[in-house]
Amino acid sequence: MIELRRHFPGITDNAKARECARTIAGWKPALAVSRPVTPLHPGKRRSAG
């Protein structure tokens, strides 16, 4: 709760921070990706140094 309140100063008390943390913990991914991720530049690869 302390970290949440530190990052979000608008949360003024521990009860509200606890409520927000429970809400965040219950979130599900917004989009289930069923297709493979393709690289932006398929032919380009960065050398290792």
Euclidean distance between CA atoms 45 and 2, whole angstroms: 43
Q: Is 21 inside any structural domain? A: yes
Q: Is 47 inside any structural domain? A: no
Per-residue pLDDT at 48: 62
What total number of domains does the chain contain? Answer: 1
Q: Which domain holds residue 11?
A: 1-25
- Digit-coded pLDDT (tens) for 7-18: 888 988 999 999
Q: Is 37 inside any structural domain? A: no
Q: Is 30 inside any structural domain? A: no
- Digit-coded pLDDT (tens) for 1-49: 888 888 888 988 999 999 998 998 888 776 665 667 777 876 666 666 5
The contacts of residue 3 (CB under 8 Å, 6+ apart) are none
Q: Is 49 inside any structural domain? A: no
